Amino acid sequence: METDRRDQNVVLVVSAPSGGGKTSICRAFLKAYPDVYFSVSSTTRAPRPGEVDGRDYRFISREAFRKNIEQGEFLEWEENFGHYYGTPREEVEGKLRQGRDVLFDVDPRGGRRIRDYFPRGVFIFILPPSLEVLEERLSQRGSEDRDALKRRISRALDEIQEALWYDYVIFNEDLKTSIDAMKAVYVAEKIRVGRQEKRLSPFLRR
Amino acid sequence: METDRRDQNVVLVVSAPSGGGKTSICRAFLKAYPDVYFSVSSTTRAPRPGEVDGRDYRFISREAFRKNIEQGEFLEWEENFGHYYGTPREEVEGKLRQGRDVLFDVDPRGGRRIRDYFPRGVFIFILPPSLEVLEERLSQRGSEDRDALKRRISRALDEIQEALWYDYVIFNEDLKTSIDAMKAVYVAEKIRVGRQEKRLSPFLRR
C-alpha cells in the first residue's frame, strides 16, 4: 500500500557540477512550493558563510556520521574531497507516507543511488550555459594554481557525463528562467497519468 | 538527418472527449507560444459559430476530402458521426523541418495514429474535473432524449479509456490552471535531455 502511494508522489532530484548554481534555484523553488519537503543532507564539512544548520545541511561530526552509517540511517551516502555527505532515510520516508513530494539536492553520484532507491524519481541536471562559463566560475572559486584548476574542471566534466541519464537539463543562463523551468517540470510531473490514477479511476471501465 | 532533427522538436498532441474544453486551452496556449505551429485539420463538417476556416479547421467538401485520402495527403484521418477529419501531412512535415514545434488537436483515435507516426510525441489528455461535470456538459449540448444522452456519455467514456496511454492528464477545473498546466508540460518537454543533445555535446567526453 505504502509503495503504491509513494509512486504517486513526486521525488525530485537536482544535481549540478560545482558552480552550477543549483542551491539558489532549489531555494526559490521551495519558496514557491512550501509543501515540497526538502531532504536536508548530513555532512561532516564545515558550514560555508550563509549556510544554516538544519536548513542547508545538518552539520555533524565524523563520529556521528559513522554511527549513522553503521545504524543504516542513510538512504545513500558518499565521500567528496574528504568530507562525508549522507541522506537520512527516516525523514524522507515519513514525508512520503504523508503524501508529500520530496526534493533532493545531491551530487550526481548521490543521484545515482537515489535512482536505485526511487526509480520513478524525476531527475534534473543543472548546467552552466556553456563550457566557458563553467571554467570561468570554477576559476573564480579560489586562488589555486593552474593544475588545481585543471583538476577541478576535469572533475566537473566527470560529473557532467552523468547528465545523460537524467530526465531534464536546465542550462542556467539566468536565474529566473531556470527557476521557471524547474517549476514547470514539477507542475508537469504532477499531472503525469501514472500519478493521477486515483482521480482517473471514476472514469475508467473495469 | 531530418529524422534526427525531428526528434528534437516537440510534437504536442491534445485530446479530450466532447465537452472537455480543449479548444479554449489550445487557443490560449498558442497565444502564449506563437512559434508553435498549430496543425489545422481538414473536415467535411459544417463550421460551428465562431469557427474560422483555415484557423480552426479547413472546411472542405467530401469530394475534396476523398481526393486527399487517395493522394496520401493525410498523416491520419477518421470518420466521426458521419463527418471526416484529417491531418494534412505536408504542412506538418515542412514546419518540423524548419525546426518548429507542432500542436495537434485531435480525438483519441487520431491521437493513436499520430503516436504511430511520432512515437516521441507528447500526449496530453484533457478531462472534465469529474464524471458528474462530464454528464452535465454533455446534457447541455442539445435537447436530446435520455437515450441519445446515454449514447453520448457512453461514447465519451469509450474515448476516455484511451487516456491511459497518454503522458499527461489535465483535469479542466478552471481554464487558467489548465492553460498553465499545458504550458508547464511544454516548457518541461523542451528541456528533456533527449531534446538538448546539441547544447549538451560540448560538455560530453567522447
Residue B181 lies inside a defined structural domain of this protein: yes
Tell me whether residues B188 and A192 touch, CB distance under 8 A. Answer: no
Q: What is the pLDDT of residues A23-79, one digit of tens each?
A: 899 999 999 999 999 999 999 999 999 899 999 999 999 999 999 999 999 999 999
**Grid cell at residue A60:** 555533524
Exposed, middle or buried by CB within 10 Å (0-12, 13-18, 19+), for B101?
Answer: buried
Residue A204 lies inside a defined structural domain of this protein: no
| Predicted local confidence at residue B115, as pLDDT | 95
Residues of chain A positioned with their CB less than 8 A from the CB of B160: 203-204
Tell me whether residues A184 and B183 touch, CB distance under 8 A. Answer: yes
> Would you say residue B19 has pLDDT above 70?
no
Average pLDDT, chain B: 91
Distance (Å, whole) CA B57 – CA B81: 17
| Block residue for cell numbers 474560422 | B52
Q: What whole-number percentage of chain A has pLDDT above 90?
A: 75
Q: How many domains does chain B have?
A: 1
* Residue in A48, A26, A25 with CA at minimum distance from that of residue A39: A26
Residue A73 belongs to a domain with what CATH number?
3.40.50.300
Chain A interface, mutation test: which of B132, B187, B192, most A Cβ atoms within 10 Å? B187
Total-model pTM: 0.91
Burial A132-163 (b: 16+ CB within 10 A, else e): eebbebbeeeeeeeeeeeeebbeebeebbebb
Q: What distance in Å separates residue A131's CA from the closest CA in chain B?
A: 6
Distance (Å, whole) CA B201 – CA B206: 9
Residue B49 lies inside a defined structural domain of this protein: no
Residue A203 lies inside a defined structural domain of this protein: no
Helices (H), chain A: 2-8, 22-32, 62-70, 89-97, 108-117, 131-140, 146-160, 175-190, 197-200
Residue B94 lies inside a defined structural domain of this protein: no
- Check if the beta carbon of residue A193 is closer than 8 Å to that of residue A200: yes
| Predicted local confidence at residue B66, as pLDDT | 96
> Would you say residue A121 has pLDDT above 60?
yes
Distance (Å, whole) CA A163 – CA A158: 10
Distance (Å, whole) CA B170 – CA B90: 30
| Predicted local confidence at residue B85, as pLDDT | 93
Q: How confident is the model at residue B143 (pLDDT cuts 50, 70, 90)?
A: low
Task: Please tell me what DSSP assigns to residue B192.
Answer: B
Residue B45 lies inside a defined structural domain of this protein: no
Residue B65 lies inside a defined structural domain of this protein: no
Residue B149: give the domain boundaries.
2-39+101-203
Q: How confident is the model at residue A4 (pLDDT cuts 50, 70, 90)?
A: very low
Residue B54 lies inside a defined structural domain of this protein: no
| Predicted local confidence at residue B63, as pLDDT | 96
Q: Of A41-50, A110-119, B3-12, give the lowest mean pLDDT range.
A: B3-12
Tell me whether residues A191 and B203 touch, CB distance under 8 A. Answer: no
Distance (Å, whole) CA B187 – CA A182: 9
Tell me whether residues B160 and A204 touch, CB distance under 8 A. Answer: yes
Question: Does an H or E element contain B41, and which?
Answer: strand B41-43
Average pLDDT, chain A: 91
Q: What distance in Å separates residue A145's CA from the closest CA in chain B?
A: 23
Residues of chain A positioned with their CB less than 8 A from the CB of B186: 184
Q: What distance in Å separates residue A62's CA from the closest CA in chain B?
A: 35
| Predicted local confidence at residue A142, as pLDDT | 64
Distance (Å, whole) CA A143 – CA A75: 36
Distance (Å, whole) CA A167 – CA A156: 19
> Would you say residue B148 has pLDDT above 80?
yes
The average pLDDT across B11-24 equals 86
Distance (Å, whole) CA A100 – CA A9: 7
